[in-house]
Amino acid sequence: KYPLKNFDFVSLPKYFVQFTYAQMAIQIGMMIPLSAVYFKMFPVSGIYANYIAIPLIGYIVQLGLIADLFELLFSSIGLATLGLKIAFLINSANYIFSKFFLDMAHFFAIRFPYPFVETPTATEMVLYYTAIMVFILYKPIFYLLEGFYYQVRDIFSVPEVRKKIIYGAVPGFVIVLTLYFSFIPQKPNLKVVFLDAGFGSSVIIQTPKGKNILIDGGSGGGWNFGTSTILPVFSKYKIMKIDRLVLTSPETGNIGGLPSVMEKKPVDEVWDVFDPKKFSLDMTYNQFLTNLGDWKLSLTPYDNRASQMYSDYYEFLKAIENNANKDLPKKHYRAKAGDIIYEEKGLKLSVLWPPAEGFQPGEDILDNNSVVLKLVYGKVSFLFTSNIKRDAEWALIDKSSGTVKSTVLLAPSHGHKYASTNEFIRAVSPEAVIIQFGYLKGRSFYESDLVPALERYAVCVSSTQSCRTDTSGSVEIISDGEKYNLSTKLGRTGFGISSAQGEAGAGESLNIGIQ
């Protein structure tokens, strides 16, 4: 009934027991905490693979060394040809072990999960290793605490001393509590992170109530932005679930990284630039182009942009179907003007663009129908403009002139010269401007095309409140609803278009009040 009832682990072969203990020590002391810190992942398969890999690598290394020694020995006595043949035979046999080793590593990497885990803070690391030390040295610590207890008991046995200690401890305790609560924020903070997504876009929002919103996912492809950047950042910020995911444009720089993120994290709701009723996994390529409604893409169906868009959006829909939240396909909505994507006390994320009936400019139909979002928290507001250009900017001003005014602006179309018109900048009147840009040969526009927009922003925004992610790195803004604090990963701000403007010094952080 209980086959392992009388099982004694130490009765197993000694080498196996010792190896298992060594593996446990490696996992507890190094792999569990340090993998989370450096790789944001935990290699589950390593625990099992090492039982094969470590003994096997011992044979592989030694056989390779023996082959080298034979070649050197026979070469030294003038029999180099014989030495090479013997070395070749040994290494041929060693190839079998090496191939098995590599195939085994591939098998464990593919078949076993490598989950992303929360990144521990410095405090958590100290507590973790302290707990390990206490576990290892529990006897000496126990004896030390026992001696300390008897000393304290002897001191408190004297009534006069006991009174003095109590009278001194009470005010000390009050001071400690006062200092502790003075450092706790009176109002929860909003955190908005503009990631350095190259010629793409990705923004992470953490609300005061702890909800997580992801706007776009950067590029896909070989160096997938979702896997290489977004998921590790999620680990850093301890994000285990996405409450709202918003796709503002079907361009690869917006959608490419989202499938890999959705593969690892459950999502509560998806808000899409397209209508889910018109786009499905069983649609053909021609149906996709027709539903896009962009006449330019219909005229050039074999253009790389169109085929890439179809491939990316297909993977996006497949990721929705396969997400850990099996109800996600039912919570897949089209984002249109007037929709409220998320709301909590004092905070609202709403859609300003496109209109429900769509927008038909002369050109750039897809870009000009990108989703524009506005996030408001108290007196601080953010405008996320995706890939819209001047036609959509002017139409947006006409429809929502009173609502586009915002504290922080994510510049339209990565700062392209045909976006960020003077009229739009005046209507928004931003105090801070973020441009997500990175030159990418064959996909992005040249850096020189940034200059007109940068010059227009420079008139109304100081260099200490303007950032380009290709020079500043990711930008983090934290707000309590009254003021905001802007900091950059590389410690630089400014657009770098004029020496007269200057740039903020390294590590500068800005704390700005809202009037």
The answer to whether residue 398 scores a pLDDT higher than 70 is yes
Measured CA to CA, the distance from residue 431 to residue 318 in angstroms comes to 40
Average pLDDT over residues 283-290: 92
Question: pLDDT-based confidence at 496, cuts 50/70/90?
Answer: low
Measured CA to CA, the distance from residue 325 to residue 303 in angstroms comes to 35
According to the model, what pLDDT value does residue 357 have?
92
According to the model, what pLDDT value does residue 515 have?
35
According to the model, what pLDDT value does residue 505 have?
38
Strands (E), 69-201: 190-194
The answer to whether residue 508 scores a pLDDT higher than 50 is no
The answer to whether residue 446 scores a pLDDT higher than 80 is no
The helix, strand and coil proportions of the chain, stated in percent and rounded to the nearest 5, come to 50, 15, 35
The answer to whether residue 513 scores a pLDDT higher than 50 is no
Q: Are 52 and 104 in contact (CB under 8 A)?
A: yes
Question: Range with the lowest mean pLDDT among 255-264, 272-281, 491-500?
Answer: 491-500
According to the model, what pLDDT value does residue 208 have?
96
The answer to whether residue 279 scores a pLDDT higher than 60 is yes
Q: In whole numbers, what is the pLDDT of the chain averaged over residues?
A: 88
The answer to whether residue 127 scores a pLDDT higher than 70 is yes
Residues 6+ apart with CB under 8 A from 359: 353, 365, 368, 369, 391, 392, 395
Give the pLDDT confidence of 135-147 residue by residue, as tens digits: 989 999 999 989 9
The answer to whether residue 362 scores a pLDDT higher than 80 is no
Question: pLDDT-based confidence at 498, cuts 50/70/90?
Answer: very low
According to the model, what pLDDT value does residue 185 have?
58
Give the pLDDT confidence of 208-241 residue by residue, as tens digits: 999 999 999 999 877 899 999 999 999 999 999 9
pTM of the model: 0.81
Question: Range with the lowest mean pLDDT among 182-191, 252-261, 297-306, 409-418?
Answer: 182-191
The answer to whether residue 503 scores a pLDDT higher than 50 is no
DSSP state of 486: E
Domains in the chain and their CATH numbers?
Answer: 137-182 (no CATH), 190-501 (3.60.15.10)
